[in-house]
C-alpha cells in the first residue's frame, strides 16, 4: 500500500459496505431498479434495430410489436431511474445521519487530548462536507458497479448468438473500458483527490479561525495579511480542483476512443462475414444498437470512478479520525467512588507528547473534606495540567491519582463528571435561552431548580431585569453577556449539578478587580459546603482558600 494512505481501496470499500448494512434492503431495491433500467436501455435499442429491419422487410418481425416493445422499454427506463434515484438517496441520507452520530460518539472520548492539535475547521469539514461526499458511494456507486458487469455480459451473449467473432472483438474493449480504465483512474487519482479534500479542510479552518478572531484581526490591523493568506489557500484549492478536473476529463474521455473502436470492429467483422459469404446484416444492426446502449452505461462508470476519488479521500479522512486511539482508556468494569471525601495525587509524573522536561515530577497532593486548596505558580509551570489529570483528560506517565482510595482510571467516568464540576477562564455559552444554558449539566432541571442555582450564583437579580427573563436567548456564543455574567452562568451550572468537588482554573482572569471581588464573594458563599481546587497565578483570587501550595519544578511546595 502507498505510505501516503492509511487504508487500501478494498479496505475502505469493505468498511463502507459494512456501514451500508442497515439499509441493505433499500440498496438492493435501488440496484435492481438500476439494472432493470439499463437492461431496458439495451432492449430499447435492440427493438429499435428490429423495427428498422422489420420495416425494410429484412427480418420477418411485426413492426408494431417492435414499436410497442420500444415504448415498454422506455417506460421501464424512466421507472427504473426514478426508483433508483429515490430509493438510493433515501438509504444514503439515513446512512449519513448515522455516520454523523457515530462521528460525534467518536469525538467524545477523543476530546480534548487527541483533538488539541487538530484544526477545528478541519473537524467541521469532516463532520459536514466529507460525510456529505460519502453519499456518492451509497447513492451512485453500487448500482453502476453491478450494471457494468451485467450489461457487457448481456451484449457479449448477444454477440455470441450472432457470431463468435463479434464477441471476440468486443471482449477486449469491455475489459479495457470496464476494468482497466477504472482501476487506472482510481490509482492515478487518489493523491489529487486527497490533496483537494485536505486543502478544503484547511481553508475551512482558516475561515472559521478568522471569524472567531475577527476582533483581534481588526484591532491589530491584520485584515489585509489575513486576506492574503486566505487567497493563497484559495489558489492552492483551485490548483487541486484543476488537477481533479483534468483527471476527471481524461478518464471520462479516454474510453470514448475504445467505444468508437468497438463500433468500427463490429462493422469490420460484419464486412468480413459478408465477404466470406455468411451474411449477418440483422446481427450487425442489432449488435451495433445494443453495444451503443451498453457502452453508454459502462462509460458512465469511469465518471463514477472519477467521482469516487473524492469520496474515498473523504472516507479516509473520516476513518482516520474514527480510528484515532483515545488518550485515556475507559475502565473495563467501572467502579463507583461515592461522595468524594479525599483526592490524592501520589508521586505523579507527567509530560505532554514531545516534551523533554516533565511538567509534573513526583507530584504529590492530598485533599481532604472541606479543603479549599489554591494552587499558585508561574505561568506555564503546570497548574492547569494538575486539573486536567484529575479530570482524566490525560493520564499520568507514572504514579497514581486516587479518589476515596480508588484509582482514578477505575472509576466510572460518568460519575466523575457528576461529582466534579469545572469552572474555567471563560464559560462557553451555547445558542438557546439563559435557562437552557444553566441547565446543560441537568437538562431535566425544573425552573425552580434553575432559579435557585442562579440565585446562588448571584445571577437571578440580573436575569429578572431582562424583558424575557430566563427565556432570554443568549445569541451566538453568549455574545449578549459580559465576561463576569458569563462566569456567573458557569457558577449557576455548577450549583445545579451540586457536585462534591469544584475545580476552577483562573475563573476570574477575564475580569477587572471590582468584578473579580464580586465573583469571589459569590463563589465563597455558593461553595462554602464544597471541596475546592482553585488554580490561579493571581494572589487576590486565592484569598478565600484554606490552604495554598506553589507548583515548582513539577512538585507541590506548601506556602
Ligand atoms: N496539549 C499540550 N501539548 C503540549 N504541551 C502543552 C499542552 N498543554 C500545555 N502544554 C505545556 O505544558 C506546560 C504546562 O502548561 P499548563 O497549562 O499546565 O500551565 P499553567 O501553569 O496552567 O499556565 P498558565 O498559568 O499560563 O495558564 C506549558 O509549558 C505548556 O506550554
Cβ(185)–Cβ(306) below 8 Å: yes
**pLDDT for the residue 270:** 83
Looking at the structure, tell me whether residues 316 and 347 fall in a common domain.
Answer: no
> What pLDDT is stored for residue 330 in this prediction?
85
CB count in 10 Å sphere of residue 263? 15
Residue 4: CB atoms within 10 A of its CB come to: 9
The structure's pTM equals: 0.74
- 365 and 248 within one domain: no
Say yes or no: 378 and 525 in one domain.
yes
Q: What is the pLDDT of residue 1?
A: 45
CATH number of the domain encompassing residue 274: 1.20.1560.10
C-alpha 222 chain-centroid distance: 31
Pick 523 or 152 by higher pLDDT: 152
pLDDT at 308: 86
ipTM (interface pTM): 0.97
Least confident of 69-73, 135-139, 271-275, 371-375: 271-275
Take atom 14 of ligand 1 and give the residue whose Cα is closest.
Answer: 382
Q: What residues are in contact with ligand 1 under a 6 Å CB criterion? A: 116, 352, 355, 359, 377, 379-385, 537
User: pLDDT grade, residue 427 (50/70/90)?
Assistant: confident
Examine the pLDDT at 3 and tell me if it is beyond 70: no
- Residue 40's nearest CA partner among 13, 76, 86 is 76
Over range 243-249, report the average pLDDT: 87
pLDDT for res 478: 61
Strands 406-407 and 398-403: antiparallel
Please provide the average confidence, as pLDDT, over all residues in the chain: 87
Residue 510's CATH number: 3.40.50.300
User: What angle (nearest 5°) sits at the alpha carbon of residue 453, between those of residues 448 and 457?
Assistant: 145
* pLDDT value of residue 279: 66
Residue 245 has pLDDT above 60, yes or no: yes
Q: Name which residue sits closest to atom 10 of ligand 1, judged by CA.
A: 352
Domain range for residue 499? 343-558
Ligand 1 centroid to Cα of residue 327, in Å, is: 17
CA of 315 to the centre of ligand 1 (A): 34
Kindly give the number of the ligand 1 atom that is closest to the alpha carbon of 113. Answer: 1
| C-alpha of residue 332 to centroid of ligand 1, in Å | 30
Nearest atom within ligand 1 for CA of residue 537: 25
Domain count for the chain: 2
Are 250 and 362 members of one domain?
no
Percent of the chain with pLDDT over 90: 40
Number of the ligand 1 atom closest to the C-alpha atom of 352: 4
What mean pLDDT is predicted for residues 386-397?
93
The pLDDT value recorded for residue 190 is: 85
Whether residues 533 and 455 share a domain: the answer is yes
Position 269 pLDDT exceeds 90? no
What's residue 126's pLDDT? 86
Shared domain for 409 and 300, answered yes or no, is no
Q: Say if residues 137 and 161 touch (Cβ distance below 8 Å).
A: no
The predicted pLDDT at position 500 comes to 93
299 pLDDT band, cuts 50/70/90, is low
Domain identity same for 211 and 316:
yes
For 152, 541, 557, 559, the CA distances from 375, given in Å and listed in that order, are: 75, 11, 10, 10
Residue 337 to residue 529: CA distance in whole angstroms: 19
- Ramachandran class of 324: left when φ > 0, alpha when ψ lies in -120 to 50, beta otherwise: beta
Does the pLDDT value for residue 336 go beyond 90? Answer: yes
Distance of CA 351 to the CA centre of its chain: 30
Same domain assignment for residues 317 and 406: no
| 385 CA: nearest ligand 1 atom | 18
Indicate which residue's Cα is closest to atom 28 of ligand 1. Answer: 380
- Give the pLDDT confidence of 217-233 residue by residue, as tens digits: 888 888 899 999 999 99
Measured in Å, residue 380 CA sits from the centre of ligand 1 at: 5
Report whether pLDDT(251) > 70: yes
- Distance CA(155)–CA(290), nearest Å, equals 7
Give, using CA atoms, the residue closest to atom 3 of ligand 1: 352
Domain ends where: 266, 292, 322? Answer: 322
Q: Does residue 61 carry a pLDDT above 80?
A: yes
Counting every residue written for the chain, the total comes to 559
Q: What is the pLDDT of residues 186-228, one digit of tens each?
A: 888 888 888 998 898 888 888 888 888 888 888 888 889 999 9
Q: In terms of domains, do 139 and 271 share one?
A: yes
Amino acid at each position: 500500500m502507498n505510505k501516503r494512505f492509511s487504508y487500501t481501496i478494498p479496505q475502505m470499500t469493505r468498511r463502507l459496505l459494512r456501514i451500508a448494512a442497515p439499509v441493505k434492503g433499500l440498496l438492493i431495491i435501488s440496484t435492481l431498479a438500476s439494472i432493470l433500467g439499463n437492461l431496458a436501455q439495451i432492449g430499447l435499442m435492440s427493438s429499435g434495430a428490429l423495427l428498422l429491419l422489420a420495416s425494410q422487410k429484412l427480418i420477418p418481425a411485426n413492426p408494431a410489436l417492435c414499436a410497442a416493445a420500444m415504448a415498454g422499454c422506455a417506460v421501464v427506463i424512466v421507472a427504473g431511474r426514478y426508483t433508483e434515484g429515490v430509493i438510493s438517496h433515501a438509504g444514503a441520507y439515513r446512512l449519513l445521519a448515522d455516520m454523523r452520530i457515530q462521528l460525534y460518539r467518536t469525538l467524545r472520548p477523543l476530546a480534548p487530548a487527541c483533538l488539541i492539535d487538530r484544526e477545528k475547521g478541519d473537524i467541521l469539514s469532516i463532520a459536514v462536507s466529507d460525510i456529505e461526499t460519502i453519499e456518492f458511494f451509497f447513492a451512485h456507486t453500487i448500482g453502476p458497479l453491478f450494471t457494468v458487469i451485467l450489461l457487457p455480459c448481456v451484449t457479449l451473449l448477444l454477440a455470441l448468438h450472432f457470431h463468435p467473432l463479434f464477441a471476440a472483438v468486443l471482449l477486449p474493449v469491455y475489459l479495457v473500458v470496464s476494468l482497466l480504465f477504472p482501476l487506472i483512474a482510481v490509482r492515478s487519482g487518489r493523491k489529487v483527490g486527497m490533496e483537494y479534500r485536505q486543502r478544503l479542510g484547511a481553508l475551512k479552518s482558516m475561515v472559521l479561525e478568522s471569524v472567531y478572531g475577527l476582533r483581534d484581526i481588526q484591532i491589530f490591523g491584520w485584515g489585509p495579511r489575513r486576506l492574503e493568506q486566505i487567497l493563497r489557500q484559495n489558489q492552492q484549492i483551485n490548483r487541486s480542483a484543476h488537477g481533479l478536473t483534468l483527471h476527471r476529463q481524461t478518464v471520462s474521455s479516454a474510453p470514448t476512443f475504445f467505444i468508437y473502436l468497438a463500433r468500427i470492429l463490429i462493422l469490420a467483422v460484419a464486412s468480413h462475414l459478408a465477404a466470406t459469404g455468411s451474411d449477418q446484416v440483422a446481427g450487425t444492426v442489432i449488435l451495433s444498437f445494443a453495444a451503443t446502449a451498453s457502452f453508454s452505461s459502462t462509460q458512465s462508470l469511469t465518471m463514477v470512478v472519477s467521482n469516487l476519488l473524492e469520496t474515498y479521500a473523504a472516507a479516509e479522512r473520516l476513518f482516520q479520525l474514527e480510528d484515532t486511539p483515545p488518550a485515556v482508556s475507559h475502565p473495563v468494569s467501572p467502579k463507583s467512588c461515592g461522595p468524594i471525601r479525599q483526592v490524592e495525587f501520589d508521586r505523579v509524573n507527567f509530560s505532554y507528547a514531545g516534551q523533554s522536561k516533565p511538567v509534573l515530577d513526583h507530584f504529590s497532593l492530598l485533599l481532604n473534606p472541606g479543603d479549599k486548596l489554591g494552587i499558585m505558580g508561574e505561568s506555564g509551570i503546570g497548574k492547569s495540567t494538575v486539573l486536567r489529570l484529575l479530570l482524566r483528560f490525560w493520564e499520568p506517565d507514572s504514579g497514581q491519582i486516587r479518589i476515596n482510595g480508588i484509582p482514578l482510571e477505575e472509576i466510572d467516568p460518568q460519575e466523575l463528571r457528576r461529582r466534579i464540576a469545572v469552572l474555567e477562564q471563560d464559560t462557553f455559552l451555547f445558542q438557546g435561552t439563559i435557562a437552557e444554558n444553566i441547565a446543560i449539566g441537568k437538562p431535566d432541571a425544573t425552573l425552580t431548580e434553575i432559579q435557585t442555582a442562579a440565585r446562588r450564583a448571584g445571577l437571578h437579580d440580573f436575569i429578572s431585569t431582562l424583558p424575557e427573563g430566563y427565556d432570554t436567548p443568549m445569541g451566538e456564543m453568549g455574545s449578549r453577556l459580559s465576561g463576569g455574567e458569563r462566569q456567573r452562568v458557569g457558577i449557576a451550572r455548577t450549583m445545579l449539578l451540586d457536585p462534591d468537588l469544584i475545580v476552577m482554573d483562573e475563573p476570574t482572569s477575564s475580569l477587572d478587580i471590582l468584578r473579580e471581588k464580586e465573583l469571589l464573594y459569590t463563589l465563597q458563599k455558593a461553595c462554602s459546603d464544597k471541596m475546592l481546587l482553585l488554580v490561579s497565578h493571581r494572589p487576590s483570587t486565592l484569598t478565600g482558600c484554606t490552604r495554598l501550595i506553589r507548583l515548582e519544578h513539577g512538585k507541590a511546595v506548601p506556602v
